[in-house]
Amino acid sequence: MLTPRCARFAEGVEEFVMTQTLNAVFEDGSFKPVDNGSLPFVEGQRVKLTVEVPAETQGDLLGLAGQVYEGLSDKDIDEIESIALDRSSFFHDRPTS
């Protein structure tokens, strides 16, 4: 269903735009609609795409973050963490105390 709304642009000009919400999957470098049987677009039509990531996808990110040290030795992990926590080189132009 297309929903009309008023949009403001940087120049202060208002324009009515039509919005459509649909579910899609990102595959092979492009977004593919889950149900493309009733899309109101013509082939080659330009649209503005706004992407919202569902909350359940955030759990995938946490799972990936948990794999950061996978396959590393304890020594490697300690070295990485000490480098990450060493703030002495964050500001090269400031003297350290």
Query: For the chain, what is the mean pLDDT?
Result: 75
Instruction: Convert the pLDDT of each residue in 67-92 to its tens digit.
Output: 888 888 999 989 988 888 887 776 66
The mean pLDDT of 51-59, rounded to a whole number, is 69
Cα–Cα dist 57/60, whole Å: 5
Task: With beta carbons less than 8 A apart as the criterion, state whether 77 and 69 touch.
Answer: yes
Residue 14 pLDDT > 60, yes or no?
Answer: yes
Q: What pLDDT does 62 receive?
A: 74
Instruction: Give the model confidence (pLDDT) of 25-41 as tens digits.
Output: 888 888 888 886 767 78
User: What are the structure tokens assigned to 10, written together?
Assistant: 């940087």
Is the pLDDT reported for residue 5 higher than 80? no
